[in-house]
């Protein structure tokens, strides 16, 4: 990757980080204000739901903040733009769209496939376990 491209992506990462840090600070303030305001049961229930959603969004933001910081750290050590699995260069178009990615497309696809396979295996186990249990119930009945 050439220096200009790297500088561009670095600026992009830094502004993304800034944006998320500001948002996260603002969210914290709203949350502490909400916690102090009195509310009846209905309001409280709505507030709980709202709070839950905010927490989920916050978790996602924090994960992204971590990813962005890791990407910036990779720039510093000169490892930015290389796939963390196979070491191949990640497609620049992919980095421009999402500069914090650390996997190339083929490793990403492989990982997703593996995760899906893991889920299938878990479902199979649950299914056969269920059959075994119902089989035993039939035997003892
Ligand atoms: Zn790769």
Summarised one tens digit per residue, pLDDT across range 10-48 is 999 999 999 999 988 887 787 777 666 656 888 888 888
What pLDDT shows up at residue 37? 64
Q: Report yes or no: 64 and 20 within 8 Å, Cβ to Cβ.
A: yes
Check whether residue 47 and residue 85 sit in a common domain. yes
List residues bridging with 82 in a β-sheet: 89
* Residue 114 token pair: 């593996």
- Secondary structure (3-state) at 82: strand
Question: Domain range for residue 122?
Answer: 104-141
pLDDT at 39: 63
- Identify whether residues 94 and 137 lie together within a single domain: no
Q: What is the pLDDT of residues 82-116, one digit of tens each?
A: 999 999 999 999 999 999 999 999 999 998 888 88
- The verdict on 110 and 98 lying in the same domain is no
Answer yes or no: do 57 and 113 share one domain. Answer: no
1 alpha carbon to ligand 1 midpoint, in Å? 16
State the distance from the centre of ligand 1 to the C-alpha of 111, rounded, in angstroms: 10
Predicted TM-score (pTM) of this structure: 0.69
Do 95 and 133 share a structural domain?
Answer: no
3 CA → ligand 1 middle, Å: 22
Is the domain of 75 the same as that of 22?
yes
Count of structural domains within the chain: 2
Q: What is the mean pLDDT of residues 106-128?
A: 86
Per-residue pLDDT, 102: 94
Give 90 Cα–ligand 1 centroid separation in angstroms.
Answer: 7
Ligand 1 centroid distance, CA of 49 (Å): 39
For residue 89, list its beta bridge partners: 82
CATH number for 14: 1.20.120.910
Q: Which of 71, 63, 64 is nearest to 90 (CA)?
A: 71
pLDDT, tens digit (0-9, with 9 covering 90-100), for 58-70: 888 899 999 999 9
Measure the CA angle with vertex 123, ends 135 and 132; round to 5°: 10
pLDDT-based confidence at 137, cuts 50/70/90?
confident
* Each residue's pLDDT tens digit, 72-81: 999 999 999 9
């Amino acid at each position: 990757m050439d220096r200009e491209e790297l500088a561009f992506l670095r600026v992009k990462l830094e502004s993304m980080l800034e944006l998320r840090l500001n948002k996260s600070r603002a969210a914290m303030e709203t949350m502490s204000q909400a916690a102090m305001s009195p509310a009846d049961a209905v309001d409280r229930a709505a507030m709980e739901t709202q709070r839950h959603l905010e927490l989920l969004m916050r978790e996602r933001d924090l994960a992204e903040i971590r990813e962005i910081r890791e990407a910036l750290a990779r720039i510093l050590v000169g490892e930015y733009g290389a796939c963390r699995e196979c070491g191949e260069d990640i497609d620049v178009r992919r980095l421009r769209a999402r500069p914090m990615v650390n996997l190339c497309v083929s490793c990403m696809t492989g990982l997703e496939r593996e995760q899906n396979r893991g889920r299938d295996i878990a479902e199979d186990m649950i299914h056969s376990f269920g059959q075994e249990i119902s089989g035993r119930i039939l035997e003892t009945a």
